[in-house]
Structure 1
Amino acid sequence: MRKLALITAVSLILAGCGGGSSDNSNTNEAHTPSSIQGTIDSVSGDTIVVNGYTYHVDSAYYAGEEVAIADLEKNMMVSISSNARSASDYTDGTQVGLEPTIVGLISDTNHNNGTFKVNGITLTFTDLSREIEDGDWVMVSSLPTANAGYKVLSVVKFEHSNLTESVEVEGLISELDSHAKTFKLGANLSVDYSNAQIDNDDNTELSNGLWVEVTGSMAGSVLKADEVEVEDFDEVSNDTEIEGIITWVANDQSSFDLSYKGRFLVNDNTRYEDGNKSNLTVGAEVEVTTKKANGENIATEIEFEHDDDSQDWNDNDIDLEGIVKSIDESALSFIVQTFSGNQTVYVNQNTRYEDGLTFNTLPGQRVETEAYKVNNQYIASEIEAEDND
């Protein structure tokens, strides 16, 4: 088996150019998107296919270190930008950034059933190579699941170096304690962020339900964070294609969240491939092409890949109706009195308020809340006044 070899420091400037196109039946002209975030479909020499587009690779990198092109593998998550074609006189190819979900030491491997742990997180991958052994450093690429877990796409072994001593885990925040500076990541990983740098474009504090990338070191079963970065699509450029899984859909299908990281609006000009608007459901794996309009990400094209039938995503899509009894500003939560009893609901920077509502005006309001669950905590995606559509 090839080991992913991190060899030299490289520039983080993305200056590649795409070399192919896909057959998009609903588009007037097939073209390579300006940027792409997705998984490698295939590798042949120094040529890779990502989301159906072919690229000649000039260089690849992870965490500021160059990766041998020969070590790129199918189903690794990557990002590619071809915005700087005119400035790329020094190269005929594309720079590829590796975007793993989890990086760390593997343990408790069971090749018979494909189970293992990385940074204490239990994972399953039936195609786990038998050449990967306990104590190896690995990169795991994955998609979110309905239960705050990880749907593993690939596991790649790589050589340890001083610059990769830090472990990395992406996932959803839950059980946030802003006083103790702790939270859970994914299903059960404990994170101590008391000495961490917080990187959030909104300049707000951390909150439950946000998707974050945490880098640091393991101290027993606790991840001691050096940096916590909130992942979103706020700075995505026009004509970017993003691969992901739909994690929330508005009741009127006017918008949806992708991989818990951000929202995309749908309008009459949105094009669909291999499906239509009715296929906008939680658990659908899609490729979304986007543009900015009035500060919002608009889905210009949605290509449906397939549905994640391994998870019951419908159980993760919750509507709550009732009167808001109180709010907790420090916890960023409110209590809503529903027909089945009181329920605590958390909000974050991605929560949308309709009908003139704000977090501080919620008490006493009768509301409809569209939410999702993270470790049995309810996170509000959208809040509107009841009976106002």
Structure 2
Amino acid sequence: MTTATPQQPPVSQLPALISGSITNLTGNRLTINDRALDISGASIQYGDTAVASSALTQGMKVVVSTDGVKVTQVDLNPDISGRISAIAGTQLQINTLSVDASALTSLPQVGDYVAISTEVGSSSQLSAAAVMVLQGAEIPATIELEGLVQQLEPGQQLFVVNGLQVDYALAKRVPADLANGSWVEVYGSLSGQRLIALDIETERYADAAEAEITGTITWVDSQQQRFELNQNLSFSVLSSTRFEDGRQQDLALGRVVEVTSRMVNNKSELVEVDFQSKPADPAVVSKLDPRFAVSGQMRSEGKTLLFNGFVFHLINSTKFDDGLTLSGLESVVLELEGVQRNGQLQILEIERADNEPRIELKGLVTQGAIWGYQAADQSLTPFEGKWVELECNLLATRVSACRLDD
């Protein structure tokens, strides 16, 4: 009697989720993160709306779902969507916001419903990397705006994203941990100069068993132990993290990398960093939000730290090192690192300051001072009006012998 050999399950070859921009599109083959994927049989979606594969365009941000062997779904992941209300030169007016479209080879028309993927750059200026025109049944009932939450007023159920005020009183879903600095996708409708939110989501691949994400490094700490991707995803380097086509020391602003993360014990761990570009383009780096670093003993007030007249904001992704907790920040001298976005100083990392006579400061020099530290000599004079990274002597509330930190 012949015994049938059990059929083995297919070997997993693809991550559960792949996030990035389309770099090539030919028929039913889509290239993302250097992977040529067959999307025949996969559903193409924008939210709950089905979209024809022919509407996909190069440069568009997408999230690809797989079963480990084949692609099951492709979700559009634009930063902003809605109808074009006006065009002035290469400036598109959409959802009351202005988007620079000078990088595009052709422009949409007034009245078109578009999904726009923006370039990584300054939070104060939206620049289109790709525009996809949706038609007929592809057009959803809502518009979308994606970005960082600022000026949150829980009592009034208001916040601001990319300069547009959002009213979420009618939203059917609101993230439980909504806070200043949260990265959200808001779906709703315009009412005058306000977006009435009907649904608010956070990143959809946060709990994926394995995710592969390509993006631009928009912040990295001074030890190159922690970095931020695309202004909204934070990763910590582990002893087990592998590096391809580069080293940990190559983590730098503006570098394009492909990261692989995996859920281990319900916690996302950084498995691999694959460098996808040559050294960062200075033109790209110059557009990124400025980084800051400051040390001192600060006053804690809710989710903010006050120091020499400056307000620093703790956000959901703020990492507390050296055993620090929110309740114990006033009793120690702190060192903060973060970014300034739309005028708001957002803390990405906080630790105990070293007891050293020289400190590192990154920020704007104005009226002979940096972060309220007045110069005891003329060493800040050459940097007046500039955002710089300095190393200075510190004595009480005054600095001296400041020089550029190499």
Preserved contact between residue 282 and residue 313 of structure 1 (Cα < 8 Å): no
Within the alignment, does 1:142 sit opposite 2:114 as a pair?
no
After superposition, residues 57-136 of structure 1 pair within 5 angstroms as 57=39, 58-59=41-42, 60-83=44-67, 85=69, 94-110=72-88, 113-128=89-104, 130=106, 132-136=108-112
Unaligned runs of 5+ residues in structure 1 are 1-16, 20-30, 86-91
Residues 34 and 275 of structure 1, relative CA distance in 2, 3 Å threshold: same
Preserved contact between residue 123 and residue 152 of structure 1 (Cα < 8 Å): yes
Which of 210, 218, 232 is equivalent to 2:182? 210
Partner of 2:359: none
- Which segment drifts farther, 45-54 or 284-293? 284-293
Within the alignment, does 1:40 sit opposite 2:22 as a pair?
yes
Which of 243, 246, 249 is equivalent to 1:275? 246
Residues 358 and 232 of structure 1, relative CA distance in 2, 3 Å threshold: farther
After superposition, residues 135-284 of structure 1 pair within 5 angstroms as 135-161=111-137, 164-186=140-162, 188-200=163-175, 203-204=176-177, 206-231=178-203, 234-238=206-210, 240-284=211-255
Residues 249 and 49 of structure 1, relative CA distance in 2, 3 Å threshold: same
- What RMSD, in angstroms, separates the aligned Cα atoms of the two structures? 2.7
% identity of equivalent residues? 28
Partner of 2:295: 321
Residues 65 and 234 of structure 1, relative CA distance in 2, 3 Å threshold: closer
Partner of 1:357: 324
Preserved contact between residue 292 and residue 338 of structure 2 (Cα < 8 Å): yes
Offset of residue 270 of structure 1: 3.1
Offset of residue 82 of structure 1: 2.0
- Which segment drifts farther, 173-182 or 317-326? 173-182
Residues 371 and 279 of structure 1, relative CA distance in 2, 3 Å threshold: same
Distance 1:39 1:305 in 2: 15
Preserved contact between residue 103 and residue 129 of structure 2 (Cα < 8 Å): no
Residues 133 and 313 of structure 1, relative CA distance in 2, 3 Å threshold: closer
TM-score, scaled relative to structure 1: 0.80
1:173-200, CA deviations, whole angstroms, 9 ceiling, x for partnerless residues?
12222222222212x2121222224432
Partner SS for 2:93: strand
Aligned residues: 342
Letter in 1 for 2:160: K
Partner SS for 2:54: helix
Structure having the higher Rg:
2
Partner of 1:285: 256
